[in-house]
Structure 1
Amino acid sequence: MSPHVRLEQDGPVARLLLDRADKRNALDQPMWEAIPVLVDEAMARASVRVLVVGSAAPGLFCAGADIAEFAAMTPDPDWRARNQAAIRRTQVTLARSPKPTIAAVDGDCIGGGCGLALACDMRVASPRARFGITPAKLGIVYPLHDTKLLVDVVGPAQAKRILYTAGLLDAAEAHRIGLADILADDVAAAVAELTAAIAATSPHSQQASKAIIRRILDGESDDDTASSGQFDASFSGADFREGVAAFLEKRKPHFPDR
């Protein structure tokens, strides 16, 4: 396990922290391999309601892949295969994780770092955040899966602008085009407010909604037997009973961990 990435938990909130400040949290092979393992660990904890991906040090998010390692190792085809597999596993695991995820972006969010943020459900950014995906500067082709994550968030025209120019967008521009969902001077406070709101509502509803949205993004457009049955079954579930009881009793609901 890499010493530069770790998982912490505070109540219902798990935090996946990048901790390589001297390299601006650039992602090397051990980090790519560790991240999906930690994401799966967070998702397996019943007490975790939301996962926040961020930096252990303020003023940072992730400068992308470790280009020095990349330059040294890419002549080795076996290393390239392992690297590509680790990056794909990271992106797919995070993008398709069952519980809500948030990227807390308080600095540069570039290349592979921007890919991490795009794989999260939402991005909260500070005014000093900068976003960019820069494979065109290196003659690299961005993977289809990761390109789709970008297109899903900003649309095809903005995705083309970001990829063709390999430029950096400031926080205000990223917010304008939907790359940053919330722009806040105090990222930690904004993330705390958002995670509290998530933790206060039904985990059953959230996880089902996330799965349905993923199906829509994957091209489905109408209900099938499974989704219709899921909707009907929710009316006999524990979260529905608690939600109705809380409404009638004029109190906050207390939903069980999942």
Structure 2
Amino acid sequence: MSTMPQPDETANPLLTIRGQVAELLLNAPEKKNALPLAAWQAMPDLLQRVAAEGEVRVCIVRGAGGKSFCAGADISEFETIRSTPEAAKHYDEINVAAFNALKTLPIPVIAAIEGPCLGGGLGLALACDIRIASRSAFFSLPPARLGLAYPPEALSDILEAVSVSDAKSLLFTGEKVSAEKAFHIGLINEIAEEGQLDGRIATLCETICANAPLSLRAAKQALNQLARPAAAADLSKALENAEACINSQDYREGYRAFLEKRKPQFKGR
């Protein structure tokens, strides 16, 4: 059985709670907030602390440094912590646990998005209830460029935001889309002009906090449940296909090409 490194406290996201507002800060600005394994592992426990704070009515998720939301997983770790199929599968499970912790937090969660919002970073944003982005933000889902499959358990979050056709376009191409395009297809709820994102988030938090907490919790729980009528669908084939990607030579070629800053040469095996 493969072993996974233990979380490093210095790498964890930062949680602050001020009155009725909690903020989860994705804290790796030197890497555009690409998150190490330790950060993904830490999120469920941090969000459980938010849930336990009875006075908190809304949670904000943002990236440190004011230039990036999250560039996804820290691919520089893949050579060691995703080096075997078992470790890669476990890594995906940790990612999905972080997404689910945001999704199931019983209070509204707002993603404040600046700059790159890529891969697992977009997964985090999609697990939030509301996504507001600065006009300079951009988005992509690039697992196909790394020889990976997007975690099947998290695909429903994409489909809650965009059409099946737009989801396929994002995943088939891996191309970056602008905030304008993201708004047009429903990936984000709103665009804030440059310099106005913080003010808009503050206003939205004030509006939400003025409403009845039990109503907010009831609405979130019911809507999450209603949005997933196919939650019991058989994902066995999708999981089998995802595992085949993890086991492939293309996956190893994909992350090595990324680290070496070259174009991958995929062989389909």
| Interval of TM-score (by shorter of Structure 1 and Structure 2) | 0.7 to 0.9
Find out whether 1:104 has 2:105 as its counterpart: no
Q: 2:216 aligns with which of 188, 202, 206?
A: 206
| Matching residue of 1:41 | 49
| Matching residue of 2:38 | 30
Higher alpha-carbon deviation: 1-10 or 87-96: 1-10
* Partner Cα separation in structure 1 for residue 41 and residue 147 of structure 2: 24
* Partner Cα separation in structure 2 for residue 80 and residue 141 of structure 1: 11
| Matching residue of 1:69 | 77
Higher alpha-carbon deviation: 132-141 or 81-90: 81-90
Find out whether 1:80 has 2:88 as its counterpart: yes
* Partner Cα separation in structure 1 for residue 152 and residue 87 of structure 2: 21
| Matching residue of 2:140 | 132
Find out whether 1:57 has 2:65 as its counterpart: yes
8 A Cα contact 2:20 2:56, kept in partner? yes
8 A Cα contact 2:68 2:115, kept in partner? yes
Higher alpha-carbon deviation: 115-124 or 67-76: 67-76
* Partner Cα separation in structure 2 for residue 2 and residue 125 of structure 1: 29
Give SS of 1:80's match: helix
8 A Cα contact 2:119 2:140, kept in partner? yes
* Partner Cα separation in structure 1 for residue 10 and residue 113 of structure 2: 21
| Matching residue of 1:173 | 181
Change (3 A) 1:51 1:73: same
How far does residue 178 in structure 1 lie from its aligned partner after superposition? Answer: 1.1
Q: 1:187 aligns with which of 197, 200, 203?
A: 197
How far does residue 78 in structure 1 lie from its aligned partner after superposition? Answer: 4.7
* Partner Cα separation in structure 2 for residue 69 and residue 211 of structure 1: 35
Give SS of 1:102's match: strand
How far does residue 68 in structure 1 lie from its aligned partner after superposition? Answer: 1.2
* Partner Cα separation in structure 2 for residue 12 and residue 201 of structure 1: 12
Q: 2:10 aligns with which of 3, 6, 13?
A: 3
In the TM superposition, structure 1's runs of 4+ consecutive aligned residues that sit over 4 Å from their partners are none
How far does residue 148 in structure 1 lie from its aligned partner after superposition? Answer: 1.1
Give SS of 2:10's match: coil
Q: Which ranges in structure 1 are unaligned for 5 or more consecutive residues?
A: 221-258
Larger radius of gyration: 1
| Matching residue of 1:196 | 206
Q: Could you report, residue by residue, the CA deviation over 1:1-44 in whole angstroms, capped at 9, with x for unpaired residues?
A: 53231101122110000111111111111001011111111111
Find out whether 1:159 has 2:167 as its counterpart: yes
* Partner Cα separation in structure 2 for residue 77 and residue 143 of structure 1: 14
* Partner Cα separation in structure 2 for residue 34 and residue 200 of structure 1: 30
Report sequence identity in percent. 36
Find out whether 1:95 has 2:95 as its counterpart: no
Q: Which ranges in structure 2 are unaligned for 5 or more consecutive residues?
A: 1-7, 231-269
* TM-score normalised per structure 2: 0.79
Counting only pairs closer than 5 Å after superposition, residues 218-229 of structure 1 correspond to structure 2 as 218-219=228-229
Q: Could you report, residue by residue, the CA deviation over 1:120-164 in whole angstroms, capped at 9, with x for unpaired residues?
A: 001010011001111010111111221110011012111011001
* Partner Cα separation in structure 1 for residue 64 and residue 56 of structure 2: 19
Find out whether 1:144 has 2:152 as its counterpart: yes
* TM-score normalised per structure 1: 0.82
Total equivalences in the alignment = 220
Give SS of 1:3's match: helix
How far does residue 70 in structure 1 lie from its aligned partner after superposition? Answer: 1.4
